[in-house]
Amino acid sequence: MNSTKDRDLALLFTPNIVLSSSSILEDYQLNKKFNPPKDVTISLPPEIKQKYNQINIQNITIKEIEIYLLEFIHLLESNFSKDYLTCLYNNINELSINKRHLFNYTGYYDVGNNEIFLSHKNIIDAIFHELFHMSSSIYDKEKGIQYSGFEQFYEDDGYDIGEGLDEGYTELLTHRYFGQKYDIGLSYQFEVATVYKLENIIGQEKMSELYFHANLSGLIAYLEQYIARDEIINFIVNLDFICSKESQLHLIKNKKMQIAINEINVFLIKIFVKKLNKKLEDGLINKEKFDIEYRTFLTMFDSRVKIGNQFYKSLPEFNLKDNNDNLKR
Ligand SMILES: [Zn+2]
């Protein structure tokens, strides 16, 4: 097939699904309890200085996890630039790790108190994930803002944004570096699949830089090169909605969930096409490469996704893998 034609179709294809997604949204708008806030607060994290030059984990009280801590530190030091490890160095020397009965979770990191809680069982399932949270967290005590990877929590009013992105990327890193060795079960599956595609657009280097500097604001600024801020916020808030609901295993099939999934996937395709188009304009790729990259990206979408115990369609009106003819309209 002629590649010029394909590229044009790719550009046409994206607005089409955006339109159909908007009309679905209107149908359910009245029932949609969860609306993206009009005035969204997102702060730039404070500039932080490295407090310690050496890591001292003598104070860690649970001896059985010392070996995992050392392995984690070694892995970060060997895989990431030192500049990315400021949160790790600042937090780890004063980190507390304690066991506690946790309802529904195997672990939890409390940013304000720099404390990891682990349930009495499944330590391996949680420890690396929680250590990634610790290594990407900054607590601005004066302003009462907790920055953790891509999440921001405002203590005053309990406003929270970016949890879905943050949990997805934390779990993605956990699996990338420790998943196979320790056979860790995958949590936050949809969030992981979503940030994996986002990372494919942004690049691993940039994505990890933003994560380890707890810089949600920087992530938004990066995406604003290609797409309007409102759409980025809507994407983040949609993923938060899914993240907040998926642990409710009794969840019945939910129209709002389907809308959120549609909007998230449409957003990812739209931004990918915009970035490809810019590369084409700048002469960085030719039309043939445009076509290959676009089609490769589409293969990353499964035809359906599972949230809680329910299956949902991956995109509105058609699925990409099983129905390729739709792409050639
Ligand atoms: Zn987590």
Does residue 208 lie within any of the structural domains?
no
Are 176 and 68 members of one domain?
yes
Residue 222 in tokens? 């990066």
Provide the pLDDT for residue 75.
96
Q: Are residues 226 and 130 in the same domain?
A: no
Banded model confidence at residue 36, pLDDT cuts 50, 70, 90: low
Q: How many CA atoms lie within 13 A of 108 on its CB side?
A: 14
Same-domain status, 36 and 71: no
- What value does the mean pLDDT take over residues 147-159? 95
- The phi and psi torsions of 312 (rounded to 5 degrees) equal -130, 155
Q: For residue 73, what pLDDT is reported?
A: 95
Find the 108 Cα to ligand 1 centroid distance in Å. Answer: 7
Look at residue 213 and tell me if it is in a domain: no
Tens-place pLDDT, residues 257-276? 899 999 999 999 999 999 99
User: What is the CA(170)–ligand 1 centre distance, in A?
Assistant: 7
Task: Tell whether 78 and 168 lie within a shared domain.
Answer: yes
- Examine the pLDDT at 212 and tell me if it is beyond 60: yes
- Over 70: is that where the pLDDT of 324 sits? no
Helix runs in 29-162, H state only: 66-79, 86-92, 123-134
pLDDT higher than 50, residue 14: no
Rounded to the nearest whole angstrom, what is the distance from the C-alpha of residue 167 to the centroid of ligand 1? 5
- Give the chain's domain count: 2
Q: What is the pTM of this model?
A: 0.84
**DSSP character string of 175-216:** IIIIIHHHTPPPPSHHHHHHHHHHHHHH-HHHHHHHHHTT-H
Looking at residue 41, its pLDDT comes to: 86
Q: Could you tell me if residue 48 is inside a domain?
A: no
pLDDT tens figures, 101-120: 887 788 999 999 999 999 88
Mean pLDDT of 41-59: 83
Tell me which residue range forms the domain holding 133: 63-182
Q: Measured on CA atoms in the order 267, 173, 193, 9, is the torsion positive or negative?
A: positive
- Is 207 part of any domain? no
Report CA(59)–ligand 1 centroid distance (Å): 23
- CA 276 to ligand 1 centroid distance, Å: 32
Residues lying with their CB under 5 A of ligand 1, a single-atom ion: 167
Residue 274's pLDDT is what? 93
Q: How far is the CA of 130 from the centre of ligand 1 (A)?
A: 6
Confidence of residue 316 (pLDDT cuts 50, 70, 90): low
Q: How far is the CA of 219 from the centre of ligand 1 (A)?
A: 19
Above 50 in pLDDT, residue 133? yes
